[in-house]
Amino acid sequence: MRSFEVPAFYQSPIISRIKHARKVLDPRKQDFTPSVLDFGSVQFVLARHFGFCYGVENAIEIAYKAIEENPGKRIFLLSQMIHNPEVNSDLKSRGVEFLMDTEGQVLTPITEVKSDDVVLIPAFGTTVEMEAYLVELGVDVARYNTTCPFVEKVWKRSAKLAKGSHTVIIHGKPAHEETRATFSHAKATGHALVIRDMEEAEVLSEFISGQRPMASFNAYFSGRTTEGFDPDVHLKRVGVVNQTTMLAGETQAISDRIRQAIEAREGQSNPGDFAQTRDTLCYATNDNQQATQAALQALSLDMAIVVGGYNSSNTSHLVELCEGQLPTFFIRNELEFQPDGMVNHFDWRSGLHQQTMSPWPEFGQSSVPTILITSGASCPDASVDRVMQSILSFYPNSRIVEDVLIEFEQRHALNSSATGS
């Protein structure tokens, strides 16, 4: 896979060595067992996969290239480059202006943009309408388009569904930039509907199977369908795609439920009415979720720390996986740890910030506190590095970091020799 030029300050002297040691032994990343760092007074269990993905590294490389290549020019971002506060803050510090926030609220009027300005399209992509406006304005939208290839794959899948006269059902968060962009691309070729979760999929399935009267459809899904959407017509043939950062298991369950509803439509269903599409979840999101689940199952854990932006969808789903099994703290970075032991963290369900005093376990089932650490696909490894270093400050008499890393590398080098890798 292609490597990208990511600024050194996003990289981590600790995490990079751990990932390198794992890559030597497992170059194809098939082994999802976690990495364990034993500091004596505390153990860190690191998920096998976390941090910057292909699409994020691609976006960051393009963004910093745009800054370097355009000194003195105004540079605009349509919205946040990715959902990470450190990355977006650094771009702002370098003069990049944001046109919208993550919910699409205007920060800088689009009318401010001129033809000779530089406009970056974020990793989530943008709507057909916005791209057409910029092209008409004379902006070169292709030069610094950082849209993730896996998002574009969803758009292509949607267009293929439309050619087969299927309505595109998008599993995603309606206000999310990526979902808005996917909806826009889907409606350019056919009809589309956005559903948020399994609960809404159940309601939709009841409409499809005839358990609910179509007359009440708009009461549930108003504002989530394309113009001219007729549920009596446009729910006869459907296919499911998703916002690439959703929970893989939930997307599959939603797809299965809708297929069952199609099949239950007595006397009206044909084999092609439900399009058998492959999962459109991005590979990195899928790997991160599988790696987190593997870590949760592999060892006895006392707590979990998940690092990432509070508006990051893929990160919140990692939190969701962890909090079902053990105390979990969703933090932006190490600055959420206070000197008195207070931890500021985020409740993704309520959208509220919370505080917990000294949650650090004094002992675990194995007598050594064991903490799972992972992060979202938009989180720099450097952030995770600083989080680990900060947690160590709450555990005096911990072993020296360098000694632990050498031990980890030697252990994996021995494993590599034993397997002939």
Residue pLDDT, tens place only, 330-374: 999 999 999 888 999 999 999 999 999 999 998 655 579 999 999
Reading across the β-sheet that carries 192-195, which strands appear in turn? 192-195, 167-171, 238-242
Q: What is the pLDDT of residues 33-69, one digit of tens each?
A: 999 999 999 999 999 999 999 999 999 999 999 999 9
By CB neighbour count within 10 A (0-12 exposed, 13-18 middle, 19+ buried), where does 109 fall? exposed
Above 60 in pLDDT, residue 253? yes
Domain match, 315 and 363 both: yes
Q: Which residues of 296-306 are buried (b: 16+ CB within 10 A; e: fewer)?
A: beebebbbbbb
Domain assignment present for 8: no
pLDDT of residue 284: 86
**What pLDDT is stored for residue 25 in this prediction?**
87
Q: How confident is the model at residue 134 (pLDDT cuts 50, 70, 90)?
A: very high
Domain for residue 181, yes or no?
yes
The distance from CA 236 to its chain's CA centroid, rounded to whole angstroms, is 31
Q: Residue 113 has which token pair? A: 């943009």
Q: Is residue 170 part of a domain?
A: yes
Asked whether the predicted pLDDT for residue 420 surpasses 60, the reply is: no
User: Does 178 map to a domain?
Assistant: yes
| Three-state DSSP class for residue 278 | coil
Start-end of H helices in 333-400: 381-392
Same domain? For 244 and 295 the reply is: no
How many domains does the structure of the chain reveal?
3
pLDDT per position as a tens digit, 266-322: 666 687 899 877 667 788 889 999 999 999 998 899 999 999 999 999 999 999 999
CB 394 within 8 A of CB 338: no
pLDDT band at 418 (very low <50, low <70, confident <90, very high): low
Looking at residue 28, its pLDDT comes to: 85
* Among 99, 114, 137, residue at a domain's last position: 137
User: Domain limits at 260?
Assistant: 149-273
133 and 65 inside one domain: yes
Query: Based on the domain organization, do 380 and 398 belong to the same domain?
Result: yes
pLDDT for 96 equals 95
Q: Are residues 238 and 334 in the same domain?
A: no
Q: Is the pLDDT of residue 2 over 80?
A: no
What is the C-alpha separation between 90 and 60, in angstroms, rounded?
11
DSSP secondary structure, 136-149, as one string: HHT--TTTTB---H
* Alpha carbons 101 and 227: distance in angstroms, whole number: 25
For residue 347, being part of any structural domain is answered with yes
Task: Give me the pLDDT at residue 279, please.
Answer: 65
Looking at residue 370, what DSSP letter applies? E
Confidence at residue 362, expressed as pLDDT on a 0 to 100 scale? 84
Where b means 16+ CB within 10 Å and e means fewer, 232-247 reads eebbbbbbbbbbbbbb
Q: Do residues 39 and 62 share a domain?
A: no
Same domain, 157 and 265: yes
Choosing from 225, 245, 273, the residue where a domain stops is: 273
- Regarding whether 315 and 398 lie in a shared domain, the answer is yes
> Considering only CA atoms, which of 316, 211, 216, 318 is closest in space to residue 261?
211
> What residues are labeled active site?
178
Supply 230's token pair.
């007729």
At residue 136, does pLDDT exceed 90?
Answer: yes
Look up the CATH number of the domain holding residue 93. 3.40.50.11270
- Residues 169, 118, single domain; the answer is no
> Which pLDDT tens digit goes with each residue over 369-416?
999 999 999 999 999 999 999 999 999 889 999 999 999 999 887 665
Does any domain span residue 42?
yes
Whether residues 170 and 94 fall in one domain: no
| pLDDT tens sequence across 197-229 | 999 999 999 999 999 999 999 999 999 999 999
Q: Is residue 1 part of a domain?
A: no
Q: Which of 255, 273, 291 is the last residue of a domain?
A: 273
Decide if pLDDT at 421 tops 60.
no
Q: How many helices (H) and strands (E) does the chain have?
A: 14, 13
Query: Does the pLDDT value for residue 76 go beyond 80?
Result: yes
CATH number for the domain including 243? 3.40.1010.20
